[in-house]
A and B are shown apart, each in its own frame.
Chain A
């Protein structure tokens, strides 16, 4: 599974299928701070992703 990290770097993860929240935990990312897009679409963290999927982890900004 290809993962685009919030800092712009890329990671490859070898899992067959996993929930998004588990993937975030594995990557040591606080789920409250990000939204995750699977194949270009934002999905809830209960959704699963498999090895063919591409994830993009976006850090939410809150300032104005």
Chain B
């Protein structure tokens, strides 16, 4: 149920998907992995849209060189922990929701605990080794993973629905080399916004998702393209789950 303030706050969304839809967002718990460029856009739009619970995790502190793209953090936040800064900004945007901000490094050991109570995983990481941890956790818990990544003017996004689509490892079997990537804040804006739109549609249960589709954004030519992804039967991450009867059944649908 929405209170009167919430009905007012979300009135333009309620025009889109009704109070029932808004109540579904209120019930949803999102785990946001990273409070950097993508994490800023994702968390700000999720908070503003009224996702009822947001848990955002980042182990770093705010640096001056982050501010061109990490709009969660402001000049006065330089030197503070990104988690703390994120919590302040998000609560300022929307005091109706529950924001948990944790100063943690995501690992195989702590991912289960970090995800407890969350039904959506938002990928806002800057490396594939952690993305593979998120991918495995999504597969094990059978919750969706909304992938996004950027470099300079370019970005990519896809939505992993365990039991239904290719997993992240099917599409990207190996991690690309880690480099210091150039980044334009507005590229994070494009890709993070796509990820949030996907999460909204998933929770509401309508619209077409980026299922088995890798969306490619090129800001330099201002073009969007997409390629199809397919489950790799030999995938090291999701093929282990094929023995699971439910998974097999869902895959054959």
Interface string of A35-64 (1 = CB under 8 A from B): 101001110100000000000101111111
Q: How far is the CB of B121 from chain A (nearest CB, A)?
A: 14
A33 within 8 A of B: yes
A56 touches which of B177, B178, B227 (Cβ 8 Å): B227
Please give the number of chain A residues whose Cβ is less than 8 angstroms from any Cβ of chain B in the complex.
17
Complex contacts, B34 vs chain A, CB 8 Å:
64
The residue on A at minimum CB distance from B176 is A60
Q: Are B151 and A61 in contact (CB under 8 A)?
A: yes
Q: Is residue B175 contacting chain A, with contact meaning CB distance below 8 A?
A: yes
Are the C-beta atoms of B172 and A64 separated by less than 8 Å? no
Known: A35-B171, A40-B227, A40-B228. A63 touches B177 (CB 8 A): no
| B residues in contact (CB < 8 Å) with A | 34, 36-39, 123-128, 148-152, 154-156, 171-179, 181, 183, 188, 214, 216, 218, 220-221, 225, 227-230, 232
A-to-B contact residues, CB < 8 Å: 8, 32-33, 35, 37, 40-42, 44, 56, 58-64
CB of B106, distance to nearest CB on chain A (Å)? 12
- Which of B150, B171, B173, B229 sits near A61, CB closer than 8 Å? B150
Docked Cα-Cα span, A58 to B178, in Å, equals 17
Question: 8 A-B Cβ contacts within 8 A?
Answer: A37-B228, A41-B230, A42-B214, A42-B227, A62-B149, A62-B179, A63-B126, A64-B124
Cα-based distance from A64 to B58 in the complex (angstroms): 12
For the complex of A and B, list the 3 residue pairs with the smallest distance between their C-beta atoms, beginning with the closest: A63-B181, A61-B151, A37-B227
Question: By the criterion CB–CB under 8 Å, are B227 and A62 in contact?
Answer: no
In the assembled complex, the CB of B58 is this many whole angstroms from the nearest CB of chain A, namely 10
A27 to B54, CA, bound (A): 45
Q: Beyond the given A33-B177, A35-B171, please list 11 additional residue pairs across the A-B interface where CB-CB is below 8 A.
A: A41-B227, A41-B230, A42-B230, A58-B216, A61-B156, A61-B181, A62-B126, A62-B149, A62-B179, A64-B34, A64-B188
**CB-contact partner of B176 in A8, A32, A37, A40, under 8 A:** A32
A33 touches B228 (CB 8 A): no
> Which A residues are CB-close (under 8 A) to B151?
59, 61-63
Task: Give the CA-CA distance A55 to B67 in the complex, in Å.
Answer: 38
Report yes or no: A63 in contact with B37, Cβ–Cβ below 8 A.
Answer: yes
Chain B positions within 8 Å of A44 at CB level:
173, 232
CB distance from A25 to the nearest CB of B (A): 16
Q: Which residues of B contact A32 (CB under 8 A)?
A: 174-177
In the bound complex, residues from chain B placing their C-beta under 8 Å from that of A59 are 151, 154
A35 to B172, CA, bound (A): 7
Which residues of chain A come closer than 8 Å to B183, judged between CB atoms?
Answer: 63
Chain A residues whose CB sits within 8 angstroms of the CB of B229 once the complex forms: 41-42
